[in-house]
């Protein structure tokens, strides 16, 4: 998923000096070392000449509206395929990973390709961090390009405050300029969608998998001999049924639900998606009133999948994708749940809100043609996510009530 500039006009004051014996004298911009007052653009001059301070003629407005609508639908067709009702239909991943392949892959030399704005790629970074697979699976972080592709850029001059923080950079293993080149370099080539996350086998020079859930299942149980936290199991056998049930709710209505809102190409499609999204969030909010995590007192892959959508909700989805019925901060339990997971050691280092904002607002041109990025709300600011959550007492309080 690649997510997937207005210049300010400054008015400089005129400068004068006054003396009892001399008339006021104008000091030019050149003499005062000030920049000259910017001249009006050709476009602004033309509009003033044609219709003065009034709005453009109705015919021009309707023509521009029709032209933009046509171009918008054309771009959205490429960005977000839809069905006949205008509902976004997410393309399926081309490279899947079956659990039976886990043993053979454990001895492979693996490399992970990600993009920081992408919630699906974020899942893989999160499980990699929780399991302690930093040394076992190296990572290349791509940046979203202006055309929606993933590119590799040299960011050596960008200061990094946190040594554990991932930053976009060059392709560390294949030395490619963009992710498309990596995909095409595989044996047999490739001409499909070039998405992140993507797990690469260096020995076979081939794509292992580009389906996020397959990758996080593999990271959870397939590389324990290399993990620093091998005893952490995010899919314990006794909870697999609950995990699957929650995934069947969260994926279509929340994970993909926010995209169905933002990429809807008809009012009916948007209304259906936004109602399903918020009715599901209401359901989860109620559930988290008596459960610390989705499946009880243990963190699972179901929580990982929900978290990467929630952390983007107030900064991005609420605004850009029109998920506007409520902000996440208005959900007491959900917002506390978000902070609870964020404060688990290793999680915060996988979260980069500025990179997320850049990736959506500056890249998704059909949804934000101006490229202007809104200010981050307090609820989406990473410092706010460090506020005490008190979620560790939720399940215990319920148990105590039942014991009385």
Is the distance from CB of 328 to CB of 338 less than 8 angstroms? yes
Q: What is d(CA 90, CA 45) in angstroms, rounded to the nearest whole number?
A: 45
Catalytic entry in 183, 259, 270, 342: 259
Q: What is d(CA 264, CA 81) in angstroms, rounded to the nearest whole number?
A: 10
The tally of CA atoms less than 13 A away on the side-chain side of residue 357 is 15
At 400, list the tokens. 């105590």
- Stated as kind and residue range, the H or E segment containing 75 is helix 58-79
Closest CA to 304 of 125, 110, 93: 125
- Stated as kind and residue range, the H or E segment containing 143 is strand 138-144
Q: What is d(CA 380, CA 378) in angstroms, rounded to the nearest whole number?
A: 5
Is the distance from CB of 219 to CB of 133 less than 8 angstroms? yes
Q: Is 317 left (phi over 0), alpha (psi -120 to 50) or beta?
A: alpha
Report the DSSP pairing between strands 150-151 and 198-201: unpaired
Q: What is the DSSP string of 274-323?
A: HHHHHHHHHHHHHHTTS-SBTTBSS--HHHHHHHHHHTTIIIIITTTT--
Residue 118 bears catalytic tag: yes
**Separation in Å, CA 6 to CA 362, 369, 370, 371:** 12, 11, 7, 8
Catalytic entry in 4, 88, 118, 209: 118
At 153, list the tokens. 């850029």
Closest CA to 147 of 88, 79, 90: 79
Residue 305 bears catalytic tag: no
| Residue 140 per-residue DSSP state | E
- Active site (catalytic) residues: 118, 259
């Amino acid at each position: 998923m690649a997510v997937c500039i207005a210049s300010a006009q400054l008015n400089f004051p005129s400068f004068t000096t006054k003396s009892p014996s001399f008339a006021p004298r104008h000091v030019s911009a050149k003499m005062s070392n000030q920049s000259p007052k910017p001249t009006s653009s050709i476009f602004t001059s033309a509009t003033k000449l044609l219709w003065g301070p009034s709005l453009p003629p109705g015919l021009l407005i309707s023509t521009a509206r029709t032209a933009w609508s046509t171009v918008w639908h054309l771009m959205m067709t490429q960005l977000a395929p839809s069905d006949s009702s205008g509902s976004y239909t997410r393309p399926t991943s081309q490279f899947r990973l079956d659990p039976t392949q886990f043993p053979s892959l454990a001895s492979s030399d693996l490399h992970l390709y990600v993009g920081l704005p992408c919630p699906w790629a974020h899942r893989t970074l999160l499980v990699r961090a929780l399991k302690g697979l930093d040394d076992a699976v190296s990572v290349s972080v791509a940046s979203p390009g202006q055309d929606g592709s993933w590119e590799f850029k040299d960011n050596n001059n960008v200061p990094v405050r946190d040594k554990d923080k991932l930053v976009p950079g060059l392709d560390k293993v294949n030395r490619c300029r963009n992710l498309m080149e990596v995909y095409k370099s595989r044996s047999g080539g490739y001409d499909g969608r070039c998405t992140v996350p993507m797990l690469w086998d260096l020995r076979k020079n081939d794509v292992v998998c580009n389906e996020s859930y397959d990758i996080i299942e593999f990271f959870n149980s397939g590389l324990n001999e290399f993990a620093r936290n091998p005893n952490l199991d995010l899919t314990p056998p006794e909870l697999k049924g609950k995990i699957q049930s929650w995934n069947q709710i969260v994926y279509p209505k929340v994970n993909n639900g926010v995209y169905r809102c933002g990429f809807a190409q008809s009012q009916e499609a948007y209304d259906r998606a936004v109602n399903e999204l918020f009715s599901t969030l209401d359901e989860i909010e109620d559930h988290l009133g008596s459960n610390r995590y989705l499946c009880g007192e243990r963190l699972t892959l179901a929580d990982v999948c929900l978290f990467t959508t929630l952390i983007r909700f107030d900064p991005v989805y609420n605004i850009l994708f029109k998920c506007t019925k409520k902000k996440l901060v208005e959900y007491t339990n959900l917002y506390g749940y978000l902070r609870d997971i964020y404060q688990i050691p290793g999680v915060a280092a996988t979260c980069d809100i500025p990179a997320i904002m850049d990736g959506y607002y500056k890249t998704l041109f059909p949804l934000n043609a101006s490229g202007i990025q809104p200010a981050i709300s307090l609820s989406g600011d990473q410092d706010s996510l460090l506020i005490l959550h008190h979620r560790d007492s939720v399940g215990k309080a319920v148990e105590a009530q039942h014991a009385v």
